[in-house]
């Protein structure tokens, strides 16, 4: 008889993230091959887990067509060499695809239906620009359900600036510079590379090389440089390429397990899922979505924002993160927030990003036994937010010495 179970994040890996487009390192690489490569890396790192014991594979993509189609969870599982007895599915919640894959598989583990699952996401924005093949129902605009600008994420970011004028362009620029610097510092310390699965890629000249790190980093970014960038979403606007996540290709996968599987197989979980929530907001101001989803997730966990010791917030736009921090009374430069930087520097391959947040939080938990709870949260296109609260298995209850 099935029994309720805790949900454990055992491990997570990702490919290096590449710049989307013809000059990006994955221009000649298929989207499904990216997620397959990540999945093989995850399986190899967790050799004590019998592949035939995986109960399900959930892989998300925003554009589920072409090399991102064909029920990715199932097709990628077969291509990665999992037994054909292992089923799979595809998920779409735009930017929160991988996050939803984790919460969906986690819920299945929590109610005792599964013991082991793989969850992740992939986005090849070079092959599949967001919205390229979409055909929005004309009722959205004709019946004034959604403003046409709501389908342009940059326009929604400008509107957060409109709503919160004290969240200035200068503050957004400063946050973006810090993100670039923090990512580079994490690279210099060898922290991020540990969870990257290198990918062999063919260049335009036919020569092969190894993609081993994130391509979009710009550690030389300065406040002066950002001040002079164009504002593509509005004349004399406040959102620039420097305060936005770049268009990106990449894949992420994670291994989730029940308490019974952890005990039986001798696994060492990196995090325990405490609660999760998704929420809807006006699509026109999509970026504030993580605020209500976090409030819901905290309420379900019986926690307050003060209980969260580490935050991994997806930097779709700097202003979006600033609106979250402002709402909860957290300083722009709070050291608990994105300690190793975020999507402004490494990129945001839409449906893959949720698990990247989890990978980084899990690694930081290991370094911070004084922190008990962490949060992964992100805004989602068409007016949504997603949040997951995690518990640190390394927690000791002792404050870290300065």
pLDDT per position as a tens digit, 87-111 = 999 999 999 999 999 999 999 999 9
More confident position, 308 or 131:
308
Rounded to whole angstroms, the Cα distance separating 393 from 11 reads 13
Asked, for residue 280, whether it belongs to a domain, the answer is yes
* Pair 352, 124: CB distance under 8 Å: no
Rounded to whole angstroms, the Cα distance separating 259 from 298 reads 23
Q: Dihedral sign, CA of 258, 262, 267, 273? A: positive
Sequence-ordered alpha helix ranges (H) in 328-367: 343-346, 353-367
Distance of CA 247 to the CA centre of its chain: 14
pLDDT at 47 over 80: yes
Helix (H, G, I), strand (E, B) or coil at 184: helix
* Pair 102, 388: CB distance under 8 Å: yes
Give the tens place of pLDDT for each residue, 52-99: 999 999 999 999 999 999 999 999 999 999 999 999 999 999 999 999
Q: Give 165's contacts (C-beta < 8 A, 6+ positions apart).
A: none
Asked, for residue 202, whether it belongs to a domain, the answer is no
The residues carrying an active-site annotation are 95, 348, 379
Mean pLDDT for all residues in the chain: 96
Average pLDDT, integer, range 392-399 = 90
Helix (H, G, I), strand (E, B) or coil at 273: strand
Taking only Cα atoms into account, the Rg of the chain, rounded to an integer number of angstroms, comes to 20
pLDDT bin (cut points 50, 70, 90) of residue 400 is: low
Closest CA to 60 of 138, 141, 124: 124
Q: Residue with structure tokens 């092969």? A: 208
Asked, for residue 193, whether it belongs to a domain, the answer is no
Asked, for residue 255, whether it belongs to a domain, the answer is yes
Rounded to whole angstroms, the Cα distance separating 233 from 117 reads 40
Tally of domains within the chain: 1
Q: Give 179's contacts (C-beta < 8 A, 6+ positions apart).
A: 315, 318, 338, 341, 342, 343, 344, 345
Per-residue confidence (pLDDT) for residue 402, from 0 to 100: 47
Domain enclosing residue 81, as ranges: 7-126+247-390
Report field, pTM of the whole predicted structure over 0.95: yes
Rounded to whole angstroms, the Cα distance separating 336 from 371 reads 10
pLDDT at 398 over 80: no
6 φ/ψ angles, rounded to the nearest 5 degrees:
-70, 160
Rounded to whole angstroms, the Cα distance separating 31 from 122 reads 7
Helix (H, G, I), strand (E, B) or coil at 251: strand
Rounded to whole angstroms, the Cα distance separating 360 from 341 reads 10
Closest CA to 377 of 8, 61, 103: 103
Report the 10 Å Cβ neighbour count for 365. Answer: 24
Asked, for residue 192, whether it belongs to a domain, the answer is no
Rounded to whole angstroms, the Cα distance separating 335 from 311 reads 9
Asked, for residue 50, whether it belongs to a domain, the answer is yes
Rounded to whole angstroms, the Cα distance separating 244 from 254 reads 26
Asked, for residue 332, whether it belongs to a domain, the answer is yes
Give the side-chain half-sphere CA count within 13 A for 204: 6
Rounded to whole angstroms, the Cα distance separating 123 from 105 reads 20
Rounded to whole angstroms, the Cα distance separating 190 from 129 reads 32
Q: Which CATH number does the domain housing residue 341 bear?
A: 3.40.47.10
Give the tens place of pLDDT for each residue, 197-218: 999 998 877 889 999 999 999 9
Closest CA to 53 of 77, 80, 76, 83: 83
Strands (DSSP E) contained in 72-172 are: 88-91, 116-124
Asked, for residue 272, whether it belongs to a domain, the answer is yes
């Amino acid at each position: 008889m099935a029994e309720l179970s805790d949900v454990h994040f055992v491990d997570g890996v990702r490919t290096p993230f590449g710049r989307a487009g013809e000059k990006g390192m994955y221009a000649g690489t298929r989207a499904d091959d990216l997620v397959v490569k990540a999945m093989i890396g995850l399986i190899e790192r967790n050799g004590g887990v019998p592949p035939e014991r995986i109960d399900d594979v959930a892989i998300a993509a925003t554009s589920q067509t072409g090399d991102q189609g064909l029920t990715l969870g199932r097709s990628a599982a077969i291509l990665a060499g999992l037994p054909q007895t292992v089923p799979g599915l595809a998920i779409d919640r735009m930017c929160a695809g991988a996050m939803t894959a984790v919460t969906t598989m986690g819920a299945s583990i929590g109610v005792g239906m599964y013991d082991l699952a793989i969850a992740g996401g992939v986005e090849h924005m070079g092959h599949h620009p967001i919205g390229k093949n979409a055909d929005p129902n004309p009722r959205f605009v004709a019946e004034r359900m959604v403003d046409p600008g709501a389908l342009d994420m940059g326009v929604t970011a400008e509107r957060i600036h409109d709503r919160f004028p004290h969240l200035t362009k200068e503050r957004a620029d400063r946050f973006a510079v810090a993100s670039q610097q923090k990512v580079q510092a994490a690279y210099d310390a060898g922290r991020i590379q540990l969870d990257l699965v290198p990918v062999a890629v063919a260049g335009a000249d036919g020569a092969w090389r190894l993609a081993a790190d994130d391509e979009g980093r710009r550690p030389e970014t300065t406040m002066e440089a950002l001040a002079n960038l164009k504002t593509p979403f509005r004349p004399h606007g406040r959102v620039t390429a420097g305060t936005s996540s770049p268009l990106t290709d990449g894949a992420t996968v994670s291994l989730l397990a029940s308490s019974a599987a952890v005990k039986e197989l001798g696994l060492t979980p990196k995090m325990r899922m405490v609660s999760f929530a998704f929420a809807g907001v006006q699509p026109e101001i999509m970026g504030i979505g993580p605020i209500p989803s976090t409030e819901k997730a905290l309420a379900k966990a019986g926690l307050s924002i003060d209980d969260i010791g580490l935050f991994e917030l997806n930097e779709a736009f700097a202003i979006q993160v600033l609106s979250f921090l402002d709402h909860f009374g957290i300083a722009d430069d709070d050291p608990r927030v994105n300690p190793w930087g975020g999507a402004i520097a490494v990129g945001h391959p839409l449906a893959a990003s949720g698990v990247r947040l989890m990978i980084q939080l899990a690694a930081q938990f290991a370094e911070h036994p004084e922190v008990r709870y962490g949060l992964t949260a992100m805004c989602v296109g068409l007016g949504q937010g997603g949040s997951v609260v995690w518990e640190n298995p390394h927690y000791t209850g002792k404050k870290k010495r300065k």
